[in-house]
């Protein structure tokens, strides 16, 4: 959910700030350019759009390409997170705000990362339990017959 919120905010900021930046670049700040910040932002927007469009091509979980899609999805997602953090620190360097704002952002990111790690660990626990229960169920079906009940054989 956190990534979806960040994606929506990124899209909104893109739609608002790109026209503003184009206007300001031509008139108010003609000699000032923040190329790395702009390039990171453009890359972030492209990756975010790629993630959204990739949902249309998502294979079913049991499809042979499902594993590869999950790897792609996670790699692009983590890349977006890392680039967004770099972009914001780049923006701090550009704007040079009070130190408390940078510290607040660092605190929010540390808390967010901690929560994300906990949720990721919980997800893996659930997935592993589900796989174990499916394996046990298949084993019981093999022992007791196709229906899983020993009464069918009486």
pLDDT in tens, the chain (154 residues): 666 676 677 667 766 666 655 555 445 556 677 888 888 988 988 888 888 778 778 887 778 888 888 888 889 988 998 998 899 889 888 888 899 999 999 999 899 889 989 998 999 999 999 988 888 887 777 766 555 555 555 4
Radius of gyration of the chain (CA): 24
Are the CB atoms for 59 and 65 separated by under 8 Å?
Answer: yes
pTM for the full model? 0.61
Which residues, at least 6 apart from 54, have a Cβ–Cβ distance to it below 8 Å?
69, 72, 73, 76
Distances (CA, A) of 108 to 3, 77, 89: 14, 19, 13
């Amino acid at each position: 959910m956190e990534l979806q919120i960040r994606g929506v905010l990124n899209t909104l900021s893109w739609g608002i700030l790109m026209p503003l930046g184009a206007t300001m670049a031509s008139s108010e700040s003609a000699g000032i350019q923040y190329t790395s910040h702009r390039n990171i932002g453009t890359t972030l927007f492209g990756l975010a759009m790629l993630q959204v469009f990739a949902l249309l091509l998502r294979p079913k979980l049991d499809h042979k390409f499902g594993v590869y899609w999950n790897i792609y999805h996670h790699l692009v997602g983590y890349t977006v997170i890392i680039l967004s953090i770099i972009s914001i620190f780049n923006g701090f360097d550009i704007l040079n705000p009070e130190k408390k704002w940078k510290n607040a952002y660092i605190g929010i990111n540390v808390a967010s990362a901690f929560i994300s790690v906990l949720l990721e660990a919980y997800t893996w626990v659930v997935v592993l339990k589900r796989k174990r229960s499916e394996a046990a169920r298949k084993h019981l079906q093999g022992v007791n017959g196709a229906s899983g009940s020993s009464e069918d054989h009486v």
